[in-house]
Amino acid sequence: MSRYRHLSLEERCSIARLHEDGQSIRQIAAALDRQPSTIARELRRNAGTKVGYQPAYAQAQAEARRWTGARLDRDDALRGEVLDRLASGWSPEQVAGRLAREAGHKVISHESIYRFVYAQLKRTNDRRWRFYLPRAKYKRGWRTKGGWPRHTDRPSIHNRPDSIAARKQAGHWEADAMLFSAPGQAILLAHERHSRLTIAVPQNSLKADPVADAIVQLLQPMPASLRRSITFDNGTEFTRHHRIERQLAIQAFFCDPHAPWQKGGIENAIGRLRRYLPRKTSLDDLPPNAFDAIIAIYNNTPRKCLGFQTPAEVFIPLHFKCESTPGSSPG
């Protein structure tokens, strides 16, 4: 028994011609080697009330009926799960990767999620849909960054061992300041390259001495084996790097001038945190515990580079392992 074949445009042209000539349904079916029920259903379902049966119109009606919409349009449960995770700050890639990790197989691609969100933006003209995306952009694309001033007497990133660039060893950090429109407001961040964990503290002064004190306070609680190196850009707030190196027993390196992308981990972290802390944010107006909650969201969001584990899931076992190993020292 042969499988059913959808009518082609050529067959629909023949149906229209024979129907206009006054042929019966059985005669048309015999001419096309089709079942009479197929011809009867075609004339009933795909004919226009005013134009009658037209091949092009019938083809369009049949194709529209077969189109069932995007996956997220059809699957209410999956759409709700995807949108809930996007609303929590996850990127489409993180959502797709985590769903695959939990299900043990691919559930949906990140491209499908992106297309769905941008289709909703266009279809509904509701700009709020863009806030489901990490950077809340109307169009996809890359943005460029500016440069930084030159300073001397700083160990170059080019002298940094290759093992640090490989991210295979824990304890190598990047540091930077996240600035805001309001004068005197900033956040100082430290980003661990292996686990992608980020720790941060609000900073009301970017002078070199307070920044050095803040970095020491951030990293000093870490076991010695998780304080191996730290990489800065060429901002003047990091000119007390010798004091940081001495107090933390850590080695400092600096990016080339105008090349903050060389510490790409923390640049990426700042970009992700901007979703919750845009430049116009006033840190003084944040509700109590809101800052800690935002950092916790970042550290508990799965990352593709970690096999869709979260930074916290990767870092916490390292921390306990190092604490349980007495006498460990930076290597």
pLDDT value at residue 149: 43
Least confidently predicted of 65-79, 85-99, 279-293 = 65-79
Predicted confidence (pLDDT) at residue 327 exceeds the cutoff of 80 = no
Predicted confidence (pLDDT) at residue 2 exceeds the cutoff of 80 = no
Cα distances from 124 to residues 128, 172, 190, 243, in angstroms, run 10, 46, 40, 56
pLDDT value at residue 325: 53
Mean pLDDT across the chain: 86
The domain ranges of the chain are 9-66, 71-132, 157-323
Predicted confidence (pLDDT) at residue 144 exceeds the cutoff of 60 = no
pLDDT tens digit sequence for 158-170: 999 888 989 999 9
Read off the pTM. 0.60
CATH topology of domain 157-323: Nucleotidyltransferase; domain 5 (3.30.420)
Angle at which helices 264-273 and 290-299 pack, to 10 degrees? Answer: 130
Beta strands of 180-240 (E only): which ranges? 186-192, 198-203, 229-232
